[in-house]
Amino acid sequence: MKAKQLRALRDELIRDLELDKSATTEMVCVRLCHVMAQRLQRDIKLRFDDLGGGGLSGLWAVTDDDVHVIIVTTTRSWVHRLHIVLHELAHMICGHKPARLDAEEGARLLYPDLSPRMLKTLAGRTDMTRREEREADRVAAALGRGLIEWARQQEVEPFPPEGDGHVTRAWYTFGFSSQRGQQ
């Protein structure tokens, strides 16, 4: 995909997301899959699951009945999960071929009792080349940069943290004072 096409896709996708400034990263992940399902005319199911400690962070597969399933690890931050969702969607955008699942595997993939071992087995069945992985990374990074730029432009009022957690202590360490406001 050429840079000009990628910028146009990024801008269209962000506009189609119709996000407001209260959107959380989780909402963006879900909304991305919804918008891409409409754009690509596919049924896309997004699921967050513990993929274990084996290094697997995301997976895209298609069931016999043509449901596209994206599974993203829960062991990462929401920003990292967003990047994983973008990467898996980028494979679709680029026309790459996902792992194909038979009816039994597809049924198991859509239910939350799948073991990390089964997910690794399914992920190992993909035939993505290094070139396809780099292409998906490039597309996902461009989309992610667009989303970050969109977020940067939103007017959001700062808020003082509450409680006595690590964030609150860091906030005060960096100079917040309720009398002076944010430094």
Digitized pLDDT (tens) for each residue of the chain, 183 residues in all: 788 999 999 999 999 999 988 888 999 999 999 999 999 999 999 989 887 766 778 888 888 888 898 989 887 788 899 999 999 999 999 999 887 766 666 666 655 565 555 555 555 556 678 999 999 999 999 999 999 988 888 876 665 666 666 666 666 676 655 554 444
Please indicate, yes or no, if residue 182 is contained in any of the structural domains. Answer: no
Please indicate, yes or no, if residue 143 is contained in any of the structural domains. Answer: yes
Please indicate, yes or no, if residue 31 is contained in any of the structural domains. Answer: yes
Please indicate, yes or no, if residue 157 is contained in any of the structural domains. Answer: no
Q: Where does residue 100 fall: left (phi above 0), alpha (psi -120 to 50 degrees), or beta otherwise? A: beta
Q: What is the pLDDT of residue 62?
A: 86
Please indicate, yes or no, if residue 145 is contained in any of the structural domains. Answer: yes
- How remote is the C-alpha of 132 from its chain's centroid? 18
Distances (CA, A) of 15 to 9, 11, 77, 169: 10, 6, 25, 37
Q: Domain range for residue 20?
A: 3-152
Q: What is the pLDDT of residue 61?
A: 84
Q: What is the pLDDT of residue 128?
A: 78
Please indicate, yes or no, if residue 163 is contained in any of the structural domains. Answer: no
Total domain count for the chain?
1
Q: Are 36 and 143 in contact (CB under 8 A)?
A: no
Please indicate, yes or no, if residue 179 is contained in any of the structural domains. Answer: no
pTM of the model: 0.76
